[in-house]
Amino acid sequence: MSAALHLSALVAAVVGTAVLLVRPRGTQLAAVAASVVMAAAMADLTLWRAVPAVWWVAAQLALAVVLAVVARCAGSRPGVDGRASRGAVCPLAVHAALGLVVMAACAAAMGGAGDGSGVVGGSFGVRGHDHTSPTGLLVVLGGLVVGWAVVTARHMRLLPHPRHRVHAGLMLASAGAMLVGAAAGV
C-alpha cells in the first residue's frame, strides 16, 4: 500500500507540474522551477536513488529561500519618497516556497542514510539516527503538510489563474499521499 501511495503522490506531482508548465500569464519562472525540482526529487527518491537525499533537501531549501526573496521583491517599486515600498506577495510563490520546505522535510525523513533503497523499497525514518521516533517524525511531517494546506487554502482565491489552483491542489494531494504512504510504511 505504501508503494502505491508514493507512486500516486509522484503522479500527482508530475501532473501538477505539467499543469503549471502550460505557462498561463502571471506564472513566475521561479515557481515553475520549484515545481520541477519537487517532482524530480520525488521521482528520484521514489524510483532510482541516483542523487543522495541530502542533495535534494539542500536544493529544495535553497530554492525555497530564493523563491521567498523573489516573492517579496517581485512587488517592490519606488515609493513617493524615493525609497522602495513593498508590494503584495505573490500567492503562487508563497505556495511553492512552502511546498519546497515540506518536500525537503519529507525527503529528509524518508530518504534516510541507510541502505540506498528508494522510498518505495525502504522504510520510514532516518536510519542513521534510530533514536528518533518514526511516529514523532510523522507528527512533524503531518504538521508541516497541514500548515501548508491551511496557508495554500487561504491564498487559493488569490491565485491569478485557475491552472494555478489546479496545480496547488495536486501538489497538496501529492504531499498528503506521501504522508499517508509514510504512515502506512511505519
| pLDDT given for residue 174 in this prediction | 84
Instruction: Report, as ranges of residue numbers, the positions in the chain whose pLDDT lies below 70.
Output: 1-2, 23-28, 71-89, 110-134, 160, 185-186
**DSSP classification of residue 108:** H
Nearest Cα residue to 153 out of 140, 171, 138? 171
pLDDT, tens digit (0-9, with 9 covering 90-100), for 126-144: 444 444 556 777 888 888 8
* Phi, psi values for residue 75, rounded to 5°: -95, 0
Q: Is the pTM of this model over 0.85?
A: no
Nearest Cα residue to 92 out of 110, 109, 77, 75? 75
| pLDDT given for residue 58 in this prediction | 92
CB-based contacts of 76: which residues, under 8 Å, 6+ apart?
A: 84, 85, 86, 87
| pLDDT given for residue 59 in this prediction | 92
